[in-house]
Chain A
Amino acid sequence: MNNGFEPNIIGFLCNWCAYTGADLAGVARMKVPSSLRVIRVMCSGRIDPLFVIKAFLKGADGVMMMGCHPGDCHYQKGNFSARRRFMLLRTILDNLALEPERLGLWWVSASEGQRYSRVAEEFANKIKNLGPSPVRGEIFL
C-alpha cells in the first residue's frame, strides 16, 4: 500500500512550547519524520482555520496543529481558541467526508522532545497508510 509514498505533512507549531519541543528533539537526535514540514507560529491560537484548509487544498496529505498544554499557554488563552478551532475544522471535514483523520491537534510542551518525536512518527505512519490525499492533482479546485 505504501509503495514508497512520502507524504507531505504540514505542522503548525507554536513558538514557545511545540517548536521548542521539536527543537529539543532535534538537538537530542531523536527520530523525526522528514515528511513533516514545520511552520512556526507564535501561538497555536494564531492558527487560522484557513491555514489548514489552504494546506489541504494545496495537496498536503496531513496537517498537524501543536501548542502548549491547556493552562500553560504563553499568552494565557490562545490554545483554548486553537482547541475550539480544531473542533470546528474537524466537524467541517467530517461532515464533508474529507478524511478528518488527516488533521490532528497535539499539546507538546517545550521539554517534551520525546513526545514530539513520537506523535510526529505516529502521525506520519498513519498518513502513509492512508495514502496520498485525494485532493492532489485536482484541477477544478
Chain B
Amino acid sequence: MKGSILPFEKDLEKSILAFLKTGLDKECFEAVLIPHKIPSDDNYAYLLIKDKTLLQGASPLPPVIPVQGAKAVSALTRWGPSKKKILAVMHPCEIRATVELSKLRQASLDNLVFLSFDCPGVMPLSGYVKNPGEGDPAYQDARQKWESAKMRPVCQTCSEFGAPASDLHIGLLGAEEGNAFLFPASLEGKRIMDKLGLETSASSDGWEREVEKLKKAREEKRRGAHQSLQTRVEGPDKLLETFSSCINCHNCMRVCPVCYCRQCYFDSDAFKLPPENFLARAQKKGSLRLPADTLLFHLGRMSHMILSCVSCGTCEDACPMGIPVAQVFSLVAENAQRLFNYVPGRSKEEPLPAAVYREEELCEMEKPYLETYARTGERDASASENK
C-alpha cells in the first residue's frame, strides 16, 4: 500500500484540520462531518461544517464518542443521499456501523467519503463529562502508548482499529516522530489525494507491521477477556446477576446505531398485557419483577442486532447502572458472527447474513441435532407415553 507522509510538527489535530481545510478549498468535498467541542467544554457533538472558519475548533480525534457517528450519518441520509459531497471523519467502528446501516437501508453512502484513523480507543463517556480536565491527558497518554486501562473495556480489546471500508486513512502507528501516514483506501480516496497533489509514494510497510503487532496483542487480550467474562455471565443465574441492576431505561437500545427502529418491538403493544397476565405469572412463581421481561429485552435485542454489532461500546456508555452491556454483547457478537463468517462493516457489498442463505450450510450444527433428536424407535415410544 502506498500513501503520503503527513507531517504534524506540533499538533496532529491541527494538521488534519489543515488537510480538511485544503480539501474544502480545492472542492474535493463540500462539507465536513466532524466532532466539535460543545460550548460547555465537557463533551463533543457532530457538526456538518461548510464554513472553513468554523472548522478551526473541530476535533478529528475526540476522546469520547457521545453520539455514534453512524447515527449522525443516518440522520443526514435516511431520507435520501446527500446532494453535496461530504467527508465524514469518524472512528473505525462508527464507519463500520454506517456501512451496516446502509445495508439496512437506514443510511445512504452516496456522496459520502470516510476519513478514518488508527483509533487508540475512547474514554467512558460519563466519567469524561464529569471531569474532562482529567480525561484529556488520559486520552493523550493512550494515543502515545496504545495501551491504557483508562479507555473503555471494549476499546481495550478492539482489534478492528485499522482501515476497513473507509476511503482515506491516517495511520498513526509506526509513524516516525512528528509524522502520520495518510493513504487512500479506495478509488475515491485516491482521487482526493491526487486532487490535493499529495503523492502516494511512501511505503506503508512500517505502519502495516505495527498494526499487525498491535492487532495480535489485542486479539490475545480479547481472548483472555472473553474467557474471563464468559465464566462471569454464563448460565441463567450469572446472567441474571449481571443484569440485576438493570432499570429498564432502554438507553442501550436507543443509542445503539444498529437499533434503528423508531419504536422498538419491546416498547410496543405486544408488551401491553392485561393485569391478569402479570398476576398469573406472579402467582406461578411466587413473585414477578416489575417492569417485567428485563432479560427478555436484552436477549431479544441481542437476537435482533447481534449479527451487525460492531462492538462500538456506545451502549455501555449510556447505561446509568454501569452494566457491562457492550462487553457481553461483544462476546456474543463475535461467536454469532463467526458462525456465518461475517464481519459487520468490512465490506459494503457483503450481504447481511440474515438476508441470504445457502442450501447447504451449517451442516456441522445440524449433525449433532439429528443425532440427539432424530433417534427413531425408543424415543418415539417414550414420547407417546408422556401424552
Q: CB within 8 Å of A: which of B20-73?
A: 38-39, 45, 47, 54
Q: How far is the CA of A23 from the CA of B319 in the complex (A)?
A: 55
Q: How far is the CA of A140 from the CA of B47 in the complex (A)?
A: 8
B38 contacts which chain A residues (CB < 8 A)?
A: 140
Q: How far is the CA of A140 from the CA of B44 in the complex (A)?
A: 10
Q: How far is the CA of A139 from the CA of B47 in the complex (A)?
A: 8
A139 contacts which chain B residues (CB < 8 A)?
A: 47, 54
When each residue 126-141 of chain A gets 1 if its CB lies under 8 Å from chain B and 0 otherwise, what string results? 0000000000000110
Q: Chain A interface secondary structure, helix, strand, loop or mixed? A: loop
B47 contacts which chain A residues (CB < 8 A)?
A: 139
* Smallest Cβ-Cβ distance to A140: which chain B residue: B38
> Range of interface residues on chain A?
under 10
Q: How far is the CA of A140 from the CA of B43 in the complex (A)?
A: 12
Q: How far is the CA of A140 from the CA of B38 in the complex (A)?
A: 7
B45 contacts which chain A residues (CB < 8 A)?
A: 140
B54 contacts which chain A residues (CB < 8 A)?
A: 139
Q: CB within 8 Å of B: which of A101-141?
A: 139-140
B39 contacts which chain A residues (CB < 8 A)?
A: 140
CB distance from A91 to the nearest CB of B (A): 26
CB distance from A137 to the nearest CB of B (A): 11
Q: How far is the CA of A140 from the CA of B36 in the complex (A)?
A: 10
* Smallest Cβ-Cβ distance to B49: which chain A residue: A139
CB distance from A139 to the nearest CB of B (A): 6
Q: How far is the CA of A139 from the CA of B39 in the complex (A)?
A: 10
CB distance from A134 to the nearest CB of B (A): 13
Q: How far is the CA of A140 from the CA of B40 in the complex (A)?
A: 11
CB distance from A21 to the nearest CB of B (A): 37
CB distance from B37 to the nearest CB of A (A): 10
Q: How far is the CA of A139 from the CA of B38 in the complex (A)?
A: 10
CB distance from B263 to the nearest CB of A (A): 19
A140 contacts which chain B residues (CB < 8 A)?
A: 38-39, 45
CB distance from A14 to the nearest CB of B (A): 31
CB distance from A141 to the nearest CB of B (A): 10
* Smallest Cβ-Cβ distance to B54: which chain A residue: A139
CB distance from A13 to the nearest CB of B (A): 30
When each residue 87-125 of chain B gets 1 if its CB lies under 8 Å from chain A and 0 otherwise, what string results? 000000000000000000000000000000000000000
CB distance from A126 to the nearest CB of B (A): 29
Q: How far is the CA of A139 from the CA of B51 in the complex (A)?
A: 12
Q: How far is the CA of A140 from the CA of B42 in the complex (A)?
A: 14
* Smallest Cβ-Cβ distance to A139: which chain B residue: B47
Q: How far is the CA of A139 from the CA of B57 in the complex (A)?
A: 13
CB distance from A100 to the nearest CB of B (A): 23
CB distance from A135 to the nearest CB of B (A): 14
Q: How far is the CA of A139 from the CA of B45 in the complex (A)?
A: 10
Q: How far is the CA of A24 from the CA of B173 in the complex (A)?
A: 72
CB distance from A5 to the nearest CB of B (A): 22
Q: How far is the CA of A99 from the CA of B45 in the complex (A)?
A: 27
* Smallest Cβ-Cβ distance to B45: which chain A residue: A140
* Smallest Cβ-Cβ distance to B48: which chain A residue: A139
Q: CB within 8 Å of B: which of A60-118?
A: none
Q: How far is the CA of A140 from the CA of B39 in the complex (A)?
A: 8
CB distance from B43 to the nearest CB of A (A): 10
CB distance from B212 to the nearest CB of A (A): 41
CB distance from A110 to the nearest CB of B (A): 39
CB distance from A43 to the nearest CB of B (A): 29
CB distance from A140 to the nearest CB of B (A): 6
Q: How far is the CA of A15 from the CA of B302 in the complex (A)?
A: 51
Q: Which 5 A-B pairs have the closest CB atoms?
A: A140-B38, A140-B39, A140-B45, A139-B47, A139-B54
Residues of A within 8 A of B (CB): 139-140
Q: 5 A–B contact pairs at CB < 8 A? A: A139-B47, A139-B54, A140-B38, A140-B39, A140-B45
Residues of B within 8 A of A (CB): 38-39, 45, 47, 54
